[in-house]
Amino acid sequence: MKQLLLVCFCCAFQQHVLSQSNLVRSTTGASGSSEEIMHGGDTYIIQQSIGQSSVIGTTDNGTYIFRQGFIQPDVLSKIIDKNVPLNLQITIYPNPFQERISLVFNENVTDDIHVTVFNILGALVFSKSYQPNQQIDLGLNWLSSGEYIIKTIANKKQFISKILKK
């Protein structure tokens, strides 16, 4: 009897939680854009993304911000090292990949190579250092299907690109 009462209570509580109007349903994605516009001494930041039909506007000290849809945080801002030039020349293939991906350097590599892979939300999923070489083959078959960001540092330069695991 106590078990039946407990099950009924759990079902009723779950239904109450699901019926709350303050729950927000959203999806994550990297689509959308931002633009900063100056007009008449005011700065306007316009952000748009898929997912909402109207614009939401806020203001703060003369700066107007208009947002539309669900805006993703700027994941690349925490991946890119601002102190390292973003001009390392690499060719990646195949992309999309299934099990392995190859990095071919289009310049002579003289320093150690550091490769890191992040998921689309910016969490580190792979990191490894290699001796100087002109090509590196990465076995990433253990990754689940989806989009990832690969960052490679060599010769005091960095390369960042999206890769897709089938």
Q: What is the pLDDT of residues 76-94, one digit of tens each?
A: 777 888 888 889 999 999 9
Q: What percent of the chain has pLDDT over 70?
A: 60
pLDDT at residue number 85: 86
Q: What is the mean pLDDT of the chain?
A: 76
pLDDT at residue number 82: 83
Token pair for 33: 């854009």
Q: What is the pLDDT of residues 4-56, one digit of tens each?
A: 666 655 555 555 444 443 333 334 444 555 667 777 877 766 665 555 555 55
Extents of the domains making up the chain: 31-72, 76-165
Q: Which one has a higher pLDDT value, 26 or 132? A: 132
pLDDT at residue number 17: 45
Token pair for 17: 């939680």
CATH of 76-165, one of 1.10.10.10, 2.60.40.3080, 3.40.50.920, 1.10.3720.10: 2.60.40.3080
Whole-model pTM: value is: 0.59
Q: Which residues contact 156 (CB under 8 A, 6 or more apart)?
A: 84, 85, 111
